[in-house]
Amino acid sequence: MAVLAAATTAVALYAPSVWAQSAGDSTLLAMRDAFRRNDSAALERSLPTLRGHVLEPLAAYWTARAQMTTATPDRIRHTLNAHAGTYWEDRLRNDWLLQLGERGEWALFDEELPRFRMQDDRQVQCYAAWREAQTGQRPWREAAQTVHALWMQQRSADTGCAAAAKALFEAGHLSAAAVWQRVRWGVEMERMPVATQAVAIINRSWTPLIETVTRNPAQYLDDKVTAVRPRTKELVTLAIIDLADQNPDAAADALDDLRWRTQLTREERSWAWGAIGRSAAHKRQPNALAYFERGQREHMHPEHLLWQARAALRAANWPVLLDTIAALPSEQQRDPTWVYWQARALHERGQTAPANALWQGIASSRGFYEQLALEALGQRITTPATPAPLNTAERAEAQRNPGLQRALAAIALGLRTEGVREWNYTVALHHPGGMTDRELLAAADLACQRQVWDRCINTSERTKSVIHAEQRFPMPFRDSVIARSREIGLDPAYVYGLIRQESRFILDARSHVGASGLMQVMPATARWTARKIGMSDFQPHQINERETNIRIGTAYLKLALDDFEGSMPMAAAAYNAGPNRPRAWRNGPVLPAEAWAENIPFEETRDYVKKVLANTVNYAALISGQPQSLRERLGTVGPRTVTTPLNQDLP
């Protein structure tokens, strides 16, 4: 304990930017590389040299994880017990439970499951539900419903839920129709491993058929072409769903064909109409609602219903919007997005009192629709009162917290993924219900002091009864950002709102597509922008320098804003998805920008635009000290009012 205390004290003394690596730190980084190579012998040799190091639990996890397939239960439990109470203990137990479930070692699984604190792994939950039915702790039908619901939430092909679904199907407790729903979801979302894994549960020989059908769905449905056999109703449904993604009108014609109309069940037809409507809504076709109305909502996937709601608000069809929101799963109905739009629909129909009651329930400065609800009630967005200052004891408790200190040490060493996981576990999962609001504020304050801005922001956002605006919306590099923004005629609050969403102020942030730095600028975009603003001496590596990144990122944002006639929502969409997409998305009726943003077909960009604008309003309130309006920044979106873009080559 004395060694551990010394190590954690060392962490508290240094910010990440000035962290001095010790010999133990170098060994740890070498172990990280050995873990990536799956070099269990090297891990085993190095582990003893890290006894007492603040990140010993992480090193022990790497070592045990690399050996888990061959290690005895006693060996694994020795590691679990040696690091009891840490994130890495529970991470190892999570991995072990998955292995035990896959191997069918149920006695060990039953022993370890109650000790699993996170309880957030759907595959473990699937195994657990299946096991509870096996042991008589819950009815088979209920277990099958649980497994099916969890399986349908998995975005990729997995082992646990698929194995539980297969066992339940073979035992007669999960219907073929339920398995086909998983196949359909995989085809519609273009996740073929999901579809082929699911269809193999029913008939492994059909796996190549799925690939053939989706390679050319129109040909599969065309009698004039030598058709692939068999033409079962399930495969026909898949062909129509896949065709819908390419051409919703052609898919609708196929579904109206008498052969398929009589062959498909009501449930299959409704799902297909949902897929056709969703694709038409993505493409902003005015007939999207008509397609949705051909099916029955109770047989559609929740994703179909979300797009029916979006198509309804795009068409300002308030009765259909209300009916569709009422059909959404209860969790989605409670989301501020649909609370706001339900209230808006009621208000448009003259039902002012219930609309105001719904808006009142979500109104705050927290997010996009919460801010719109405030304005719908006639209020402006202001900075909430700062919570009572943290006292010495609260700060000291956060500084002593071993999970937070391990997380900071990992982040300081460049092990950001590992550090973020440990931090999130400590604040949210280590104890049931997570930290209290005061504990969260203290943890966020610790991260702010260490300039770990992403953990500062995300931790402060977890508070329920208070909002600490300065923690949630910090302004690092204030002189540079504000001076540069004002120099080129940008609202500094807009720039801060975008940086917060892009990088959370992580200087060396890298995206999976190659964007870099605070403002996440792509290399090609950086070169183009540098030329545009006369930076003749620009070198690619400079984009990782803070001042250069800010200069180029703000310049590009200003060029995009000018190109989109000052529309903040469209410029934000262009910054995230490139300018050509919002140029197409703006065509059609003139819409309130909030309705336009909600109809953006890319989930990432849709979320991005809303968060950048909500961030902007909060930053503006902090910078100016004055009440702000989100609606004034939104405006409307419609077809271009000038003939040609200002910057036709804007990348």
- Give the residue among 259, 346, 228, 248 at the shortest CA–CA distance from 292: 248
Distance between CA 528 and CA 649 in Å, rounded? Answer: 9
The DSSP symbol for 48 reads G
Helix (H, G, I), strand (E, B) or coil at 391: coil
Tracing tokens 């209860």 back to the chain, one arrives at 330
502 is catalytic: yes
Residues 6+ apart with CB under 8 A from 34: 42, 43, 46, 62, 66
Other beta carbons within 10 Å of 140: 17
**Contact assessment for residue 499 and residue 566, using Cβ atoms and an 8 Å cutoff:** no
- The closest alpha carbon to 295, from 316, 275, 315, 319, belongs to 275
Nearest of 200, 203, 140, 146 to residue 172 by alpha carbon: 140
**Catalytic position from the list 234, 502, 594, 598:** 502
Burial of 535 (0-12, 13-18, 19+ CB in 10 A): middle
SS3 string, 540-580, reads HHHHHCHHHHHHHHHHHHHHHHHHCCCCHHHHHHHHHHCCH
CB of 73 closer than 8 Å to CB of 105: no
Dihedral class, residue 193 (left if φ above 0, else alpha if ψ from -120 to 50, else beta) = alpha
Separation CA 597–CA 579 (nearest Å): 15
Question: Active-site positions?
Answer: 502
